[in-house]
Structure 1
Amino acid sequence: MSSETPAPEVASIATPTNLVLFTFLLFLVYIRLRPSTPTSLPKPPAPITFRTFTPHTLLPYNGTNNQPVYLSVRGRVFDVTPGRNFYGPGGPYENFAGRDASRGLACGSFDEEMLTKDLDAELDTLADLGGEEMEALRGWEERFEDKYLVVGKLVSVKGAEAEKGA
């Protein structure tokens, strides 16, 4: 009889359970350390350049056909697109969009007769307005200055021709 004792069995770590756990651990490390995808910033709005408008060139900026909404107050053109609900199509001030709104705002009237009908005529000088009306217009102008960008100036058609010739 031999007195050989069997060699102790060495436990293998390569069991199917351990391989699954090790694979899962590698996956978690990969998820944790993988490079993140860069966040994309939203596209900035198109740059707005200051330009000279005539009543004809201002008129298309009334909010229709996905156009911005501009209006003029005392010769300055404001981009009121952020207030499209008020100044754009269907809004209470929509008749001022793409137009000189000075007289209507000064008089507190949204009527069509407050708008200049002849787009080739000289701009309204507002000379016939009283002190209260001019004060109301200054209030509106300050409100627009606080809320909206000035994107240009409004000149008469004759004034635009004079500027081109200069």
Structure 2
Amino acid sequence: MGGGYTSIVKKLLFGVETLLNEDFFKKREYYENIAEKIIFTGMIDEFYNYCFGELEYRSLKFEEEVLNIDNFQGVAVMNFTDIETPYTRIIEHKHFEFGNQNKTIITREYPKEWKKGDEPYYPINNKKNNNIYEKYKKLSEKDTNVIFGGRLGTYKYYDMDKIIEEALKVVENEKNKE
């Protein structure tokens, strides 16, 4: 087996019309009328026009480097949690699947304070934000034609394996409603 998560997602979406690189909010009315259900993985607070206030997110800055060595760290992802290291992780791409090249590419991930317009990567789960999110969640339960998913739609941090597991549960729950 190979292909990682890409292979899994391709199989899940086989035969399903899928639109990518679209701005839901630029054509919201159109999208809300073309299907019985919408799977929304964007920011739940934006979906509801920030009616309960803005949730806070953390963003990231990426720095990529090609190194003239065949192996930098020996694993795909190395996390750094000490205060002295300015980045939170280094990704060495060749270790995901392909790799025995004589050069390697690494990406350093730096935390970045999020502001509106930046790419939101992670929720900031503190008491204030979790209370705001609970209001959005209650509101979302009334929207039976929208399924909120992912880190931004559920305002929860997920590792990749857990989000795939969660997505499969959501699909199973939807099938049971039929």
Structure with higher Rg: it is: 1
Normalising by structure 1, we get a TM-score of 0.29
Normalising by structure 2, we get a TM-score of 0.27
Higher strand share: 2
Higher helix share: 1
